[in-house]
Amino acid sequence: MKTNVFDQQEYAVLLSREEFLLIVKLLNGEYLLGLERDPLLTLTPEQQGIALIVAERALRARDLAKISEDGNLLINEIVLHLAATCAFAEQTMFVSLAKPDDTTDQAFAHRFEDRIVVHSQPDAALHYLQSIQNVAQLVDRTLGFLKLNQLNEVTTAESIILEKSVIETALAAGKTKSAEEVSMLLRDYGVESANAIQLANVVAGQPSISTLYIAQLVENEKVVSYDYTVIATTAAAWLMTATTDQQQFRLQPANTQQLRSLWLEAFERKISLESEYR
């Protein structure tokens, strides 16, 4: 039976970019979402070498690593498990929260076997790794991170299928126009009046736009991915998912419990190359 080293309690570590890259390299990890754009990777091999020497010393100074009798660098077991879950993930989640003030918060979660680790950057030069005990906890924390954990409104609005360009036009209009004006715009594109009013109230209500992207490793090292976008105010939200036509999207009202159920199922879904999801 496989043992989950994170099943009894949560663990967390804050690493510098140099420390994190050193550990990933020791694990022979080649690619890691959330690290691929790090400025450290643009340095020359010589410059990287110096940075990694400094990182090794920093880990040892913090008692997160030590030198073995045969001269090898030994990383603290928990820190190694946290980094390895990221480096060899079978499933990776990326979440992005675009806020009304035009700032964006981002985080990753990586899953390997029964281990789950959240990976965020509190600063451009820092990487925070935290273990999560199960998928339900991950989904709850994701809803909290995206400020979608208190959506209790139940609406009679129905799902709508719109062209991508129409959605973009409505979102742009919502920044400067009233809900009534946005509602009229949506009706001009054929949206039924009751639906147009409820969607316009969100679009013109200084919404945040959340994106949840899941990539999963399947057979033959192929990757299958699928994503969800949520346009939300503090009171209401609309879930946006792609149809088979990549230029059309389905929008449907959603509350916290509906999103939670949907994302729990998404994380546990066993998908293959023949999946309906792209």
Q: Can you tell me the mean pLDDT for 226-237?
A: 91
- Token pair, residue 41, equals 């990777």
Q: Can you tell me the mean pLDDT for 144-161?
A: 86
Task: Inform me whether the pLDDT recorded for 2 exceeds 70.
Answer: no
Task: Inform me whether the pLDDT recorded for 271 exceeds 60.
Answer: no
Task: Inform me whether the pLDDT recorded for 278 exceeds 50.
Answer: no
Per-residue pLDDT band for 79 (boundaries 50, 70, 90) equals very high
The burial class, CB within 10 Å (0-12 / 13-18 / 19+), for 274 is exposed
What pLDDT score was predicted for residue 273? Answer: 37
What pLDDT score was predicted for residue 247? Answer: 82
Among 30-39, 155-164, 188-197, 268-277, top mean pLDDT goes to 188-197
| Closest-CA residue to 210 (of 145, 146, 278) | 146
| Closest-CA residue to 205 (of 175, 168, 165, 247) | 175
Task: Inform me whether the pLDDT recorded for 32 exceeds 90.
Answer: no
Does residue 238 sit in helix, strand or coil? Answer: strand
Task: Inform me whether the pLDDT recorded for 50 exceeds 60.
Answer: yes
Among 38-42, 71-75, 113-117, 184-188, top mean pLDDT goes to 184-188
Per-residue pLDDT band for 277 (boundaries 50, 70, 90) equals very low
Provide the 8-state DSSP code for 249: E
* Alpha-carbon gap, residue 236 to 155, rounded angstroms: 9
Residues, the chain: 278
Mean residue pLDDT across the chain: 86
Q: Can you tell me the mean pLDDT for 36-53?
A: 72
Q: How far is CA 27 from CA 75, 82, 87, 136, 189, in A?
A: 10, 12, 8, 28, 53
Q: Can you tell me the mean pLDDT for 170-174?
A: 95
Task: Inform me whether the pLDDT recorded for 60 exceeds 90.
Answer: yes
Percent of the chain with pLDDT over 70: 87
